[in-house]
Every structure is written in structure tokens, then in C-alpha cells.
Amino acid sequence: MTETRLREQICAMAKSIFDRGLTGGASGNISVRTGDGGLLVTPTGSSFGALDPARLSRFDAAGRLVSGDQPTKEMPLHSAFYETRSVTGAVVHLHSCHSVALSMLPETDPDNMLPPLTPYSVMRLGKVLLLPYFRPGDPAMGDAVRGLAGKRSAVVLANHGPVVAGKDLEAAVYAMEELEETAKLAMLLRGANPRMLDAAQVQDLVRTFDIEWDD
């Protein structure tokens, strides 16, 4: 994909996310690996509903900002995924409502915060780790992701929002949407004692689709 097309794709997918209410105001950020090893990143203070392809922050392969507006302050978070997961081609971070709500509940399992309600959350996300609260932009967020040694493709920052890494932008966005939809289901079914996938069904998915699932 050409860089021009990649810029257009970032803005189009960001607007779709914004239009459907998955992140609002000037919240959320996206980064995508370019063909030369650099990054295209959504600028700080920008709305997903009104991004300009020409103003995306452009980093070279050495991590230097070479053009565009100033990038999101969450760059340490994005960089940590690229450094620890070689397959990462894009990172998406949102402030999506249901994921944030689930992160605040005391009964949420921090090691696997999404209950196995559907096969698709298991297939697209594996286990989703709940990280503790960090001040937005705190470099310690990146350190926390590096501490996972590349073992998780999706995390949720407590009281803040989810972060998903994918092989490309489309994969990262689809996985992010699955995370938010599963969190929504979990909130809707809270206290209802729903039938979930059992351990054998989860393991069947893990084996069949070669999913990262450390016990």
C-alpha cells in the first residue's frame, strides 16, 4: 500500500470509529507502520472525526519526527508494542465506554478481563490484560507493556481505555471493535449468570486458530 493510501485509510477508519461513538472528542490515537520502517501517527489533540491525511505525524525508521503535527502524547505506549511484538503493523488506542466501565469493576479478572462469551473475542484478542491506572502520557505505560515481553496483543488501561496491536490497521481496528463489543456484552449480562464458553471450548479455539493463550 502506498503512503498516500495508508494516510487515507487511517483517516477513514478513524472517522468510522468516531461516527459510531467508539471514542469521542479528541480522544484516541492510531499509529501504523510504513513500508520504510517509519510510522504514521494521529496528532495530539486531534479528533478522529476530522483528521487531515497531510497533517498526520510522520516518523522515520530511527524514530525521528520528520513531518506533520506533533504526535499523540501516548507515543511511549505505541512504541512499546512495536518494540516487543515484531508482527505489529498498527496500534489503536480508544477511550471506549464499555471497556473502560469493565476496567473499573472490582470483580474483573486483571489477567483475563474479558469473559469467554463468544468465540470471536478469544480468536481476535486472546487474553486481554488489565493494566493499572497511569496518568495519560506517562512513560510508565510503555514500561508496563514492555514488561509483558510481547505476550499480549491487547490490554486495557484501568479508568482510561483499551489498546490493541494488530498485523495491520484493519486487523487492529477489527480486534478493538471485538474487545468493545465483548465488554458491552459483559456489562449487559452482569449479574445474569450467562452461559459462557467452557474451558474445553476455549482450548479448542486456541488449538484450531493458533491463538496466543498463556495459562
Q: Which residues are part of the catalytic machinery?
A: 74, 120
Which residues partner with 29 through β-bridges?
A: 93
> Which one, of 13, 205, 191, 143, lies nearest residue 91 by Cα?
13
> Which one, of 99, 90, 61, 93, lies nearest residue 182 by Cα?
99
**How far is Cα 21 from Cα 13, in angstroms, rounded to an integer?**
13
C-alpha cell at 204: 479448542
Q: Which spans in 53-115 are helix H?
A: 75-84, 97-104
Query: Are 95 and 161 a contacting pair, CB within 8 Å?
Result: yes
